[in-house]
């Protein structure tokens, strides 16, 4: 097991893992929601053969210092944290890889600090137009802005199980949503991941965050604090990435059986209403499912049209496809980031 480390920055005390020090190539890994940096550890042995690889716990997750998240800044609290972390670490330029929520944070970071990012790798990122609260490939938001997104869409039962550290339920979350059944991690990794999910900070300023109610289905609107609100289209729109003059190359990796980031997402009120799991759904004309993959593909089509380069790679697996199909992931990574020949 890799040793956990801590780094004091001018923003907060950050927990992280690092391996492969001494390699000239640097790879920074950003984890997703309901997880931590430890979720990358099964990949460390292979990655550290050719990379100086580092994975920090984001604010509100893992063992990083508990600090409130200002959702009105979208992903920028996290982006600023990562900038402070890299500055304290002495990293000035690196390849940046983000999974799920971490992918959206990575896009924000590349927008804010383009000069630090050599390439951008996105594993199952959320829609660039926000998680929940939009429809159509163009990411058109519902009104009022933030409807059906943010802290109010979190499953309260799941939050309670995280609070109670229910190992059985969290194990089912891993087995049925993070991965495509019948795939199973080893018991050792499952237990570690369950432990890490349980470290997530809970409350109105962290996960899931605050929310307000409204008279329109699904009756919740994003609040101003916490993780899920930062992902709401009310605050989280990554379109500024499209305006970069010097756009980083992007590798977009996703699983062929992802039930979380999907055009039929099991975390989306529109789709859950359509299949009868949320009562009162007003129908597809009023509140259709969010087409997360179609939105991301539309966004990256615009990225290409404006001079950027994006490669989409679909590999076997669910939301954590890089762990289910590591060799397929490493093939895509190696092709995207070839080692320069020694002259």
pLDDT 10s digits, 103-123 = 999 999 999 999 999 999 999
Rounded distance between C-alpha atoms, residue 64 and residue 294, angstroms: 34
Rounded distance between C-alpha atoms, residue 102 and residue 86, angstroms: 15
276 CB burial (10 A radius; 0-12, 13-18, 19+)? exposed
Rounded distance between C-alpha atoms, residue 224 and residue 226, angstroms: 7
- In angstroms, the Cα distances linking 213 to 2, 116, 207, 340 are 44, 41, 18, 55
Rounded distance between C-alpha atoms, residue 226 and residue 202, angstroms: 9
Q: Where are the alpha helices (DSSP H) in 48-124?
A: 76-89, 101-112
Token pair in block for residue 168? 């059985």
**Does residue 343 have a pLDDT over 50?**
no
Domain-by-domain residue ranges, the chain?
5-143+237-336
CATH of 5-143+237-336, one of 3.90.1150.10, 3.40.50.1820, 3.40.50.300, 3.30.479.30: 3.40.50.1820
Token pair in block for residue 281? 């759904």
The alpha-carbon radius of gyration of the chain (Å, integer) is 19
Rounded distance between C-alpha atoms, residue 147 and residue 222, angstroms: 7
Q: 262-303 pLDDT, tens per residue?
A: 999 999 999 999 999 999 999 999 999 999 999 999 999 999
Rounded distance between C-alpha atoms, residue 311 and residue 336, angstroms: 9
Token pair in block for residue 92? 């000035």
**Does residue 342 have a pLDDT over 50?**
no
310 CB contacts (<8 Å, ≥6 apart)? 249, 250, 251, 252, 300, 303, 304
Token pair in block for residue 64? 């990083």
**Does residue 1 have a pLDDT over 60?**
yes
Instruction: Say what the pTM is.
Output: 0.97
Residue pair 209/33 in contact (Cβ under 8 Å)? The answer is no
Q: 4-58 pLDDT, tens per residue?
A: 999 999 999 999 999 999 999 999 999 999 999 999 999 999 999 999 999 999 9
> What count of Cα atoms within 13 Å lies in the side-chain half-sphere of residue 107?
33
Q: What is the pLDDT of residue 155?
A: 85
Q: What is the pLDDT of residue 62?
A: 98
At 158, is the pLDDT very low, low, confident or very high (cuts 50, 70, 90)?
confident
Token pair in block for residue 172? 């089912």
Calculate mean pLDDT across residues 88-113. Answer: 98
At 166, is the pLDDT very low, low, confident or very high (cuts 50, 70, 90)?
confident
Smallest CA-to-CA distance from 192 within 163, 171, 162 is with 171
């Amino acid at each position: 097991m890799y040793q956990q480390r801590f780094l004091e920055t001018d923003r907060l005390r950050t927990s992280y893992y690092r391996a492969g020090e001494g390699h000239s190539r640097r790879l920074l890994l950003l984890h997703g929601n309901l997880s931590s940096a430890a979720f990358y550890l099964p990949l460390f042995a292979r990655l550290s053969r050719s990379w100086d690889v580092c994975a920090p716990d984001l604010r509100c997750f893992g063992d990083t210092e508990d600090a409130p998240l200002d959702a009105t800044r979208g992903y920028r609290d996290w982006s600023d944290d990562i900038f402070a972390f890299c500055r304290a670490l002495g990293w000035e330029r690196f390849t940046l890889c983000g999974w799920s929520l971490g992918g959206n944070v990575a896009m924000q970071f590349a927008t804010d600090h383009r000069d630090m990012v050599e390439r951008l790798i996105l594993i199952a990122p959320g829609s660039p137009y926000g998680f929940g609260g939009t429809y159509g490939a163009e990411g058109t938001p519902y009104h009022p802005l933030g409807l059906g997104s943010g802290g109010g869409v979190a499953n309260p039962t799941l939050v309670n199980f995280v609070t109670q550290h229910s190992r059985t339920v969290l194990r089912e979350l891993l087995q049925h949503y993070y991965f495509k059944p019948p795939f199973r991690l080893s018991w050792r990794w499952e237990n570690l991941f369950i432990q890490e999910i349980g470290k997530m900070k809970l409350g109105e300023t962290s996960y899931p965050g605050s929310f307000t109610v409204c008279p329109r289905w699904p009756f919740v609107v994003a609040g101003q604090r916490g993780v899920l609100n930062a992902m709401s289209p009310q605050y989280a729109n990554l379109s500024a990435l499209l305006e970069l003059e010097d756009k980083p190359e992007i590798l977009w990796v996703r699983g062929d059986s992802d039930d979380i980031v999907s055009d039929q997402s099991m975390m989306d009120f529109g789709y859950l209403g359509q299949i009868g799991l949320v009562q009162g759904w007003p129908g597809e004309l009023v509140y259709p499912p969010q087409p997360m993959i179609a939105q991301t593909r539309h966004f990256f089509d615009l990225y290409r049209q404006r001079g950027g380069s994006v490669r989409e790679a679909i590999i076997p697996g669910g939301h954590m496809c890089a762990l289910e199909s590591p060799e397929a992931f490493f093939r895509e990574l190696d092709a995207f980031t070839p080692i320069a020949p020694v002259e």
